[in-house]
Amino acid sequence: MEAKRDGEAGGLLEVRGLTKIFGALTACDRIDLSIGRGEIHALLGENGAGKSTFVKMLFGALEPAAGTIEWKGERVSIPTPGAARRLGIGMVFQHFSLFEALTAAENIMLSLDEKAPIMQIAERARELSKAYGLPLDPFAHVGDLSVGERQRIEIIRCLLQKPDLIILDEPTSVLTPQEADKLFETLETLRDEGKSILYISHRLEEVKRLCDRATVLRHGKVVGHCDPRQETAASLARMMVGNDVEAVKRPADSAGAHETLLEVTGLNRPAANPFAVPLRDINLSLRAGAVLGIAGVAGNGQGELFEALSGEALQDVAAAVRIRGKAAGRLSISGRRLLGAAFVPEERLGHGAAPYMRLSENLLLSRHATDGKTLLGPLGTVRNGALTAAAERIVTAMDVRMSGANPEAAALSGGNLQKFIIGRELDRQPAVLIVNQPTWGVDAGAAARIRQALIDLARSGSAVLVISQDLDELFEISDAIAVMHDGRLSSPLPIAEATFERIGLLMGGAAPEHHVGEAVETA
Partner 1 sequence: MRLELVKRPQRSALFSTISPLIALVLTMAAGAIMFSVLGKNPLDALYYYFIDPLRETWSLHELAVKAAPLILIAVGLSVCFLSNNWNIGAEGQFIAGAIAGGILPVVFPDFQNGLVLPLMLLMGFAGGAAYAAVPAFLKARFNTNEILTSLMLVYVAQLFLDWLVRGPWRDPGGMNFPETRDFHAFAILPELMPSAGRAHWGIVFAIVAALVLWFVLRKTLTGFEIRVLGQSPRAGRFAGFSAPRMVMIAFLISGGLAGLAGISEVAGAIGQLQPSISPGYGFTAIIVAFLGRLNPLGIVAAGFVLALSYLGGEAAQISIGLSDKAARAFQGMLLFFVLGCDTLIHYRIRLAGRAPTARGEAAQNV
Point out which residues bind partner 1 (CB under 8 A). Answer: 22-23, 61, 79-83, 85, 91, 93, 97, 110-113, 310, 312, 332-334, 337, 343, 345, 347, 350-357, 361, 364-366, 368-369, 376, 379-382
Give dist(CA 117, CA 94) in Å, integer: 28
Please state the closest distance from residue 349 (CB atom) to partner 1, in A: 8
Residue closer to partner 1, measured from CB, 335 or 461: 335
Residue closer to partner 1, measured from CB, 79 or 517: 79
Residue closer to partner 1, measured from CB, 254 or 334: 334
Give dist(CA 163, CA 168) in Å, integer: 12
Give dist(CA 219, CA 50) in Å, integer: 7
Residue closer to partner 1, measured from CB, 214 or 426: 426
**Cβ–Cβ < 8 Å for 313, 320:** no
Burial 169-197 (b: 16+ CB within 10 A, else e): bbbbbbbbbbbbebbbebbeebbeeebbb
Please state the closest distance from residue 114 (CB atom) to partner 1, in A: 9
Please state the closest distance from residue 357 (CB atom) to partner 1, in A: 7
Residue closer to partner 1, measured from CB, 410 or 520: 410
Question: Nearest CA to 225 among 500, 34, 419, 11?
Answer: 34
**Cβ–Cβ < 8 Å for 460, 430:** no
Give dist(CA 400, CA 419) in Å, integer: 6
Please state the closest distance from residue 164 (CB atom) to partner 1, in A: 18
Please state the closest distance from residue 435 (CB atom) to partner 1, in A: 13
C-alpha distances in Å from residue 361, one per residue of 99, 347, 353: 34, 18, 9
**Cβ–Cβ < 8 Å for 414, 47:** yes
Burial 372-396 (b: 16+ CB within 10 A, else e): eeebbeeeeeeeeebbbebbeebbe
Give dist(CA 321, CA 319) in Å, integer: 5
Question: Nearest CA to 391 among 380, 458, 416?
Answer: 416
Residue closer to partner 1, measured from CB, 34 or 437: 437
Residue closer to partner 1, measured from CB, 223 or 411: 411
Amino acid letter, residue 86: R
Please state the closest distance from residue 128 (CB atom) to partner 1, in A: 18
Instruction: Give 196's strand partners.
Output: 165
Please state the closest distance from residue 53 (CB atom) to partner 1, in A: 11
Please state the closest distance from residue 382 (CB atom) to partner 1, in A: 6
